[in-house]
Amino acid sequence: MAFMKAMDRRIAGMTQAEEGQWSGDHFFIFLADPQPGLIDKVNGGNGSRWDVEINRTNIAIDAINKMTPKPKFVCIGGDLIDAFPGESLRTPQVNDLKAALSRLDTTIPMVVVSGNHDVGNIPTPDTMAMFNQDFGEDFYSFWSAGVFYIVVNSQYMFNDSKTQDESNIQDEWLEEQLKIAKSDSCQHAVVFMHIPLFIVDPDEEDSYFTIPKSRRMELINRYADAGIKIVFSGHYHRNGGGVWTNEDETKQVESVVSSAIGAQLGNDVAGLRVVKVTSDRISHTYYPLDGVPEHLE
């Protein structure tokens, strides 16, 4: 299996009973948007070639496999493939990506986040069923080394006009996860979502690349009230990020926006993010694929 499929809103082997205790400093890997086929489109093609993206994914997997110590897990932050549900190129893209990801050291868990290309810009029950079959459930939570991770389907937050029931179910579920995050049971709580809360400024205008302002501040406040200080996203195909702080500076939420393994839409290069977790903070560094460190302290 190339990655861990979520079932019943959890990941087998990564529950609170198994991974709920803090076990010391560690790190994990966050990478986003392998999206095989997009580079061909950017270069004027029809998306039917994706050798470059698969090669970059192989390079990333090789680099991760060489790391010592090993990361606790790898998270792919959405847009796993480029073809939308129902398009003819989707199945071969899924198969080729899974083949590349299957080369990861089998002792390192891999989890995935749903992106807009994975479920559709306006998801429907049918497109969600396709994603669930290929990749598992689209929202879930898991534990690793005493840290609580919440994975949400951000497309429901962007446009749920055809999935109102599914969106409501996620929202009710999210409220329960935020109660866990707020408790004293976890060392940290972290959110993964494909579409960023914001790129640089919490007050920036709506765009294709961010959660709409009508939902953004509500989400930020809910996350902040639960003690979540950091949210990792992709989607932008460039690096970005910023910090929201409340008026009395007692709470803050960092939006971390990571560039792509696949096509770059700015001046960044393909890479991955190493996220270090200590008892009192979470820090992160983006590395180009040819600069991923083999040894981490």
Q: What is the pTM of this model?
A: 0.97
pLDDT digits over 198-252, tens only? Answer: 999 999 999 999 999 999 999 999 999 999 999 999 999 999 999 999 999 899 9
Looking at residue 191, its pLDDT comes to 98
Looking at residue 185, its pLDDT comes to 86
CA dist 85 → 46, 47, 79, 94, 156 (Å): 16, 14, 12, 11, 16
Residues in the chain, total:
297
Whether 32 has a pLDDT exceeding 60, the answer reads yes
CB 188 within 8 A of CB 276: no
CB 138 within 8 A of CB 128: yes
Domain ranges in the chain?
A: 26-288
Whether 297 has a pLDDT exceeding 90, the answer reads no
Question: Span 26-288: which CATH code?
Answer: 3.60.21.10
Angstrom distance (rounded) from CA 286 to CA 26 = 16
Instruction: Quote the percentage of the chain above a pLDDT of 90.
Output: 96
H-assigned helices in the chain: 16-19, 38-42, 51-66, 90-101, 116-119, 125-135, 154-158, 164-182, 213-225
Q: What is the mean pLDDT of the chain?
A: 96
Short-list 227, 225, 277, 284, CA closest to 77: 284
Looking at residue 1, its pLDDT comes to 54
Segment 91-94 long-range contacts (CB within 8 Å, at least 24 positions apart)? 93/36, 93/37, 93/50, 94/134
